[in-house]
Structure 1
Amino acid sequence: MSGFFQRLQRLEPRRQQAFMAALCERLLPNYAFYAEATGHGDPKALRVVLDLVWERLAVKDARIDFDRQAEKLAELEPPAEDDSFGARRALEAVVAISSLLDTLRGDSPEAVLEVSRTSRGGVRAFIELTEGEEDGERLAAIVREHPLMEDENGFQDAVLEAVEGELGRDALKALRRLGRNEGVSNLGLSMD
């Protein structure tokens, strides 16, 4: 894994942003599920913020006030008192997009690692919740070998390979499609 993180850190900022944007795409359905189940949050508003990031990646001179977008994002967080599993996954989506905005607003060298770990962490939490294994070593093995974790690792590898290549308009569109993953989140959930 350390080789993976070194490759991530060596990427120029725009490539890191494209990597994070693709991961954020896959986190959005988790937020939408939470919003639908609880009535808290606004998936469309979250979508708009992420769409603006993609626009900026495609059009370098796009004039977008990312400070204002960060303020809007803060309003989309689940209520602080909600400590449910769904709220934590929804918060991960907001925090990941917020980390991405930090890189667009200035210097945030750790953001790309945070977003990668956040996405993996959500998958780990879901597996731990669904497997209910008490033994720590056994649980670690289950998490490592679980199809969802294998899928997450494969997905992040594919995104990293994509952003290491040519990143023109078509490549960005393909990356975005990859991130959208046909509407299936990193937890294997789909709104369809």
Structure 2
Amino acid sequence: MLDPNELETEIRNLEHWQQVAFSAALTERMFNNFALFSKLMEFGDLDRMRTVLDGVWGELAQNGSKLNYDVQLGHVDDNLVDLDEFDTFGAIPARDAMLALYSTLMCKLEKEASDAVAVSNLSYETVSAYIEFAEANDQMSDEELIRMINSHDMMLDEDAFQSEVLEQLNGAKQNAATISALRELGENQGISNIGISDEE
């Protein structure tokens, strides 16, 4: 894994629009975790959540779209999965995706770097939880589990993805081309940070 302290420092050193764009790119990659869960469980308002995230991208690209962030925060809050209601692992990454969207909106609204850091952490936590769910066993010690998670291909992919987003943002200008490239990176050919496509 990347050094969490170094990663946080890099995120905090970004300009405010870059922090929002970083958050949006990670949220975009996580979004299918919510989309598939929403379709399978007939939960929440997937179209509205897609529209909210599209609106963030639109504002970043300065295409004239405007979001009422206070209203949208309420809508996202309504789509947070209650883990007590669903006895399925998919509820966890679905909730994380909406928490990431919430933090992205808060990053834009409050201009706090800590919200972008929270999105970074959420994406890592989703990957970590999935690896533990899919591959851990009762015989593993805590040290073995941590070692397995940190060296897992999916975690290394998460490192590479967050590094690439930061690399694209460093020194970048806020324009439609920059935002379009970041969005395409976040879309990740329709595959989420835990390998989920909403077409499944």
* Structure 2 Cα separation of the partners of residues 43 and 93 of structure 1: 12
* Structure 2 Cα separation of the partners of residues 21 and 145 of structure 1: 26
Normalising by structure 1, report the TM-score. Answer: 0.94
Alignment-derived partner of residue 10 in structure 1: 13
Query: Is the 1:28–1:43 contact (alpha carbons within 8 Å) kept by the matching residues of 2?
Result: no
Compute the RMSD of aligned alpha carbons.
Answer: 1.6
Structure 1 residue 79 displacement after superposition: 3.5
Q: Deviations over 1:60-112 (max 9, x none)?
A: 86432111111111121224532532112111111111111112222433111
The DSSP-based 3-state class of the residue aligned with 2:186 is helix
Alignment-derived partner of residue 28 in structure 2: 25
Aligned residues: 192
* Structure 2 Cα separation of the partners of residues 82 and 174 of structure 1: 38
The DSSP-based 3-state class of the residue aligned with 1:110 is helix
Query: Which of 36, 40, 59 is the aligned partner of 2:39?
Result: 36
The DSSP-based 3-state class of the residue aligned with 2:79 is coil
Unaligned runs of 5+ in 1: none
Aligned ranges 1:98-137 → 2 under 5 Å: 98-133=102-137, 134-137=140-143
Alignment-derived partner of residue 167 in structure 2: 161
Query: Which of 45, 58, 62 is the aligned partner of 2:61?
Result: 58
* Identical pairs, percent: 33
Alignment-derived partner of residue 150 in structure 2: 144
The one-letter amino acid paired with 2:118 is E
Unaligned runs of 5+ in 2: none
Alignment-derived partner of residue 195 in structure 2: 188
Query: Is the 2:33–2:198 contact (alpha carbons within 8 Å) kept by the matching residues of 1?
Result: no
Higher mean C-alpha displacement, 32-41 vs 122-131: 32-41
* Structure 2 Cα separation of the partners of residues 113 and 106 of structure 1: 14
